[in-house]
A and B are shown apart, each in its own frame.
Chain A
Amino acid sequence: MDCYTANWNPLGDSAFYRKYELYSMDWDLKEELRDCLVAAAPYGGPIALLRNPWRKEKAASVRPVLDIYSASGMPLASLLWKSGPVVSLGWSAEEELLCVQEDGAVLVYGLHGDFRRHFSMGNEVLQNRVLDARIFHTEFGSGVAILTGAHRFTLSANVGDLKLRRMPEVPGLQSAPSCWTALCQDRVAHILLAVGPDLYLLDHAACSTVTPPGLAPGVSSFLQMAVSFTYRHLALFTDTGYIWMGTASLKEKLCEFNCNIRAAPKQMVWCSRPRSKERAVVVAWERRLMVVGDAPESIQFVLDEDSYLVPELDGVRIFSRSTHEFLHEVPAASEEIFKIASMAPGALLLEAQKEYEKESQKADEYLREIQELGQLTQAVQQCIEAAGHEHQPDMQKSLLRAASFGKCFLDRFPPDSFVRMCQDLRVLNAVRDYHIGIPLTYSQYKQLTIQVLLDRLVLRRLYPLAIQICEYLRLPEVQGVSRILAHWACYKVQQKDVSDEDVARAINQKLGDTPGVSYSDIAARAYGCGRTELAIKLLEYEPRSGEQVPLLLKMKRSKLALSKAIESGDTDLVFTVLLHLKNELNRGDFFMTLRNQPMALSLYRQFCKHQELETLKDLYNQDDNHQELGSFHIRASYAAEERIEGRVAALQTAADAFYKAKNEFAAKATEDQMRLLRLQRRLEDELGGQFLDLSLHDTVTTLILGGHNKRAEQLARDFRIPDKRLWWLKLTALADLEDWEELEKFSKSKKSPIGYLPFVEICIKQHNKYEAKKYASRVGPEQKVKALLLVGDVAQAADVAIEHRNEAELSLVLSHCTGATDGATADKIQRARAQAQKK
């Protein structure tokens, strides 16, 4: 503890840099790192090594081997490289390994060595071969920049949405640039390259020469260049051992340093922390590591082994065969607290807490000192912040303990920052664990967000840990646990050695009815792995039928899809499946399928009725549904056909169908209609006027109204119109004509089958009381009263009613007695009533 600052190295007056070990590497490398192509992903990501990359022999033993390790050196995957020679490796933002081959093809592998996809960087690259390649990160994703054998650059700013850009030519470029890098400014990717003493900047349109301001003279070539993590700063290493540091826009110089080493460094990377004023660059040679910044002196480390630098957001990771270290600027809070003889409030608080544990009264003294200055809040905040930047749990704990101790003396200190830091540190310590191997710092973690961290755990198949973290942080299920379980299930379905039943059961057991889990997504994944049966089993667990159907269709289980769609009650879904089936099956099978699904059938029929009449007919034919077929043709006879022959023909077909359906009634009715149609046609020809499409009744009426009584009677006989109807019909027609003479003749032709009351009624309706009276006398006794009342003969009606001794009739008459004229009649009725009651 006494020499906690022992590994702190001052750079200039204001900053300290420290290097501490993250892991001792366990990867048991046989080769030197220098013999491998190396790529390490930022944010504590995985490391990929391609061994023997340059050997071209075909012998299997010396074929390149691609190994992927976690940051702690745990092997994640190892595979024999069977494709073409690889020029460069790099990790995308999604932690996918991009392997750029000499021929411009980029192969994409997952973290576990699973091949994902490949894409090509274009024909030009294919022809000229790849000389060098860089993978870089932009705000859109990950980009690839390629230098071809023709010394031209091609780049794509986002491999997820591949758009190739061929950069303009550099005038007079005969050999490969001594060094180059991809720059990302204002959301556009550029290339910066050095040829001899000149620097060129390539954008989409042009190539321009640039000069760094304040560059020391005498530079004949640039050996190395480095862009900072955020693309804000640029460092250049010249052949004179001179390092220029400035902004990436090349508009401003920050500082310079002369290290007097003329050998080209192996690597040069920026080492700075966000929001810190200090700028430093780490330069590595074979055995030497140098941190240079705005200070006359540099920090020097000796490298025992071949090492590799990984730039990070807030520092540099350095790994070699045996160790993995982190080099960074000591954060302000830690510096305040731990600087020797610091009197910062945080430092005092930490001291106070230690004394308190020793039960020394000094604790009180220190505390008082802070309180007198009113800096206790600041002290607590400092301790909390410093704890975040500590790698060792012990140190985190003592700082947090100090913070918690200080908090006791504050009235109102919001607890969230403390609680959140405890939680964050717990998560960080968990993922930094050797077995997990994600050495995130607090700043990186905050930048990455918990969601991405969870994704990365899922990517590493560390489902239990991810779930534990979700539960610990109490993340909402849908974003947290369910999502992870769904990922787990998607991974599970890929385990081909487990039987379908077991997988389905295991998944259901774990997932149950967890909200937010979509079984159909998992099933889709299973189907993607060629496990159709498993997919169907999984779909059984999907509660929403609507979700099952599309996948079932995709798996060509259309019939199952149909019944699921019907189950869902969503007619749209059913319809979707129907159209699918219609295209998939031949007509016969399609109809057969429909036949077993009445709901689908009626839906389809509805559609056909409006859109595909012929199909409708076929449907009925298929089912031998002669009744409907008959109806279909009837409809056609008046909707589709224009000519009378066509209509009759349609009716004939309909009649035949009705006979087949054993519906004699309909068949006969249809035949009658055919006869009627023909007749109407003839009537139109012979008599003129409009007859077609009238009903039989109306046809006869029209004939009578036109004075064709003979024809009318002939028609009535031919179609066997019942007497009653005929009488009603004639009565109405003659009354309409006001042909009273003919009406009377008709009434006397024989005894009326409908009585004579209608005659009275119709005459009254035509306001002919005179005619009405003629018939009133002939009305039968039971309706006589009504008839007499109709013609207005109240007195006689009263007589008849009294004669009938019918109470109802009496009241009816009485209700018609109005005013003085009928006074006598009314009295008469009253008397009759009284008499009837006496009896």
Chain B
Amino acid sequence: MAFPHRPDAPELPDFSMLKRLARDQLIYLLEQQHEVDKLYKVENKPALSSSEQLCFLVRPRIKNMRYIASLVNADKVAGRTRKYKVIFSPQKFYACEMVLEEEGIYGDVSCDEWAFSLLPLDVDLLSMELPEFFRDYFLEGDQRWINTVAQALHLLSTLYGPFPNCYGIGRCAKMAYELWRKLEEEEDGETKGRRPEIGHIFLLDRDVDFVTALCSQVVYEGLVDDTFRIKCGSVDFGPEVTSSDKSLKVLLNAEDKVFHEIRNEHFSNVFGFLSQKARNLQAQYDRRRGMDIKQMKNFVSQELKGLKQEHRLLSLHIGACESIMKKKTKQDFQELIKTEHALLEGFNIRESTSYIEEHIDRQVSPIESLRLMCLLSITENGLIPKDYRSLKTQYLQSYGPEHLLTFSNLRRAGLLTEQGPGDTLTAVESKVSKLVTDKAAGKITDAFSSLAKRSNFRAISKKLNLVCGTGMVRGVGGFIPLWSTFLGGNVLERRSWQGLDEVVRLLNCGDFAFTDMTKEDKASSESLRLILVVFLGGCTFSEISALRFLGREKGKREFIFLTTAVTNSARLMEAMSEVKA
């Protein structure tokens, strides 16, 4: 069903079960207990409801608690008494209760939990819809969501059987994995004896590979996300796309046949594909000429509806393409892609730097400028001090002084850093090349301790052949996502990180790369062809699409994805930005 053109693909697990579970639970919480009659969005304004009880369905955030507290206290001042119920999703945090207590309304509200952590966005994509995971963990060092991830994994393993092979890279991945294991041990026996449906699971930290996420996306789905922002698997196409005066909300998933065929395509191919499709469609419409009555009846009753539907979708996507094109040409997309590619390949650094500077000076877009700066920093192992200072100064002058805090955030997250004296690029590269040739790598670990916290992008890229010219359209602007190389077979076939030792070390993940196999091989060959990839901190549509391609290319493999949220470069940058409240 997922990929009709691939008869050899293993069957995907049925995620609709998750939806049913969550729905039933919510219905129970809302109707059985509270008789909800009207829904409001939680916003920072007073709720104008006259009903006797208010029920809040919220994420466990302190901000939300204060909002609720203000409402309740306002009611108190006005002398109203109502019942209040707070339903936390996916779980309740003690800190939230603390806030309720400090605000003096703990006794007035009752709390409940809606353990809804996995939203199936598509047949192969589950999202936890926790965009705050990225900032909370990778910037603030707050580990509260890791438990949530572990619980989600636990839920998956109770529904779809245990995972016989586990791999992970990154500190967070390791923690999540360990917590998950603990959960499994505590509830021993439930998953035991079940046949695994999914053979492998990979846990990946976002900070292991920022580069891919920071690059412009070039596959259709990624571009739609970058341009229109896909929210929970659906997108609002504005009037410029629908070519009418109304906006239209469109669900983007495998059900949309047109979208399904172009989502993973490089943007330059999409137009050609769409026009071909249009011609086919026309041809099908044309068939009705020369039909007799019976055939016509058949056509109208059976095919016409599908064709019309397809027609509608087709015109939508063509509209979207046009809109993307318009925006991209306005921003000089070619120039941008060229710069990105230069950064990835490491040539014309000066030119790229001045491109970025111009970008800032012209106030093109604060988020884009920031993204380019980060990309430069990561690929170059930090900016040289002069550039670091001047770019930042320019940025502050252009976009406002409060971004001083943004810079401090980016520095903490390792996204925008300054080269220390001594570790200029050449120095690193010489050390790395030595390492790569030297088999007794252990001896040189000392040399690398000085480089801790550096991303060493260039060395990894060289080692893994990540940059592969324009011929490779599968990646992100001529760059293969790091994950693809990990998942491309090396680790899966050897069932360990062996052979990637140096890379892992260069990623500063030496202690956090792990594998765990169960000895007994109960897993069927069918399940071993299914690989669940868990992104901690979010993943982009380009990465998903690259892995989908990989699964197809390697044949008979299917990747399914679980991410804390679908992200893109803009979302990452926004998460790091400090804007005036």
Which residues of chain A have a CB within 8 Å of any CB of chain B? Answer: 515, 543-544, 568-572, 575-576, 579, 598-599, 602-603, 605-607, 610-611, 627, 631, 634-635, 638-639, 665-666, 669-670, 672-673, 676, 693-698, 719, 721-722, 724-725, 728-729, 732, 754
Contacts and interface: CB of A to CB of B under 8 A. Distances in A.
Contacts of A569: 143, 146-147, 150, 175, 178-179, 182
B405 A634 contact: yes
B102 interface: yes
A639 B580 CA distance: 7
Contacts of B580: 638-639, 693
B141 A598 contact: yes
B299 interface: no
B141 A728 contact: no
Contact of B404 (A575, A576, A670, A696): A670
B144 A603 contact: yes
B144 A697 contact: no
B146 A697 contact: no
A209 B179 CA distance: 70
B146 to A, nearest CB: 6
Contacts of A631: 404-405, 408
A695 B397 CA distance: 6
20 contacts: A543-B185, A569-B150, A569-B179, A570-B147, A571-B147, A575-B93, A575-B95, A575-B98, A606-B140, A631-B404, A639-B580, A665-B393, A669-B396, A676-B401, A693-B580, A695-B396, A695-B397, A721-B397, A724-B357, A732-B362
B361 A571 contact: no
B397 A696 contact: yes
Contacts of B397: 695-697, 719, 721, 725
Given A666-B404, A672-B396, A729-B361, 16 more contacts: A543-B186, A569-B179, A569-B182, A571-B142, A575-B95, A606-B95, A607-B98, A631-B405, A638-B581, A639-B580, A665-B392, A669-B396, A673-B401, A695-B401, A724-B357, A725-B397
Given A724-B357, A724-B361, A725-B361, A576 B401 contact: no
Contacts of B363: 697
B287 interface: no
B400 interface: yes
B578 interface: yes
Contact of B142 (A603, A611, A698): A603
A603 B136 CA distance: 10
B98 A599 contact: no
B63 interface: yes
B71 interface: no
Interface residues of B, number: 47
B242 interface: no
A728 B400 contact: no
A697 B401 CA distance: 11
A754 to B, nearest CB: 8
B95 A607 contact: yes
Given A579-B98, A611-B62, A571 B93 contact: yes
Contact of A572 (B93, B140, B408): B93
Contact of A638 (B95, B150, B402, B408): B402
A577 to B, nearest CB: 10
B253 interface: no
A728 B362 contact: yes
B300 to A, nearest CB: 43
Contacts of B358: 724, 728, 754
Interface string B144-177: 1011001000000000000000000000000100
B515 interface: no
Interface string B397-418: 1111110110010000000000
Contacts of B396: 669, 672, 695-696
A635 B179 CA distance: 35
A728 B394 CA distance: 13
A571 B143 contact: yes
Contact of B102 (A602, A611, A638, A693): A611
Contact of B99 (A611, A665, A698, A732): A611
A676 to B, nearest CB: 7
B389 interface: yes
Nearest to B332: A761
B82 interface: no
B140 A602 contact: yes
B401 A544 contact: no
A371 B73 CA distance: 85
A602 to B, nearest CB: 4
B63 A634 contact: no
A145 to B, nearest CB: 40
A746 B93 CA distance: 61
Nearest to B400: A695
B393 A669 contact: yes
B186 A544 contact: yes
A357 B242 CA distance: 99
Greatest chain B CB density within 10 A among A543, A598, A673, A696 is at: A696
B66 interface: yes
Nearest to A545: B182
Contacts of A543: 185-186
Nearest to A666: B404
B40 interface: no
A602 B398 contact: no
Nearest to B66: A610
Nearest to B385: A665
Q: Which of A569, A575, A603, A627 has the most CB of B within 10 A?
A: A569
Nearest to A632: B405
Contacts of B141: 598-599, 602
Nearest to B189: A515
Given A569-B175, A599-B141, A696-B397, A669 B404 contact: yes
Contacts of B400: 693-695, 698
B135 to A, nearest CB: 10
Contact of B408 (A515, A627, A676): A627
Nearest to A654: B404
Nearest to B99: A611
A721 B363 CA distance: 14
A672 B178 CA distance: 48
Contacts of A754: 358
Contacts of A729: 361
A177 to B, nearest CB: 51
The 6 closest A-B pairs by CB, nearest first: A602-B141, A610-B62, A571-B144, A572-B94, A695-B400, A673-B401
B102 A599 contact: no
A603 B178 CA distance: 20
A605 B95 contact: no
Nearest to A719: B397
A568 B143 CA distance: 11
A635 B578 contact: yes
A820 B199 CA distance: 63
A639 B578 CA distance: 11
A607 B62 contact: yes
Given A610-B62, A639-B581, A634 B402 contact: yes
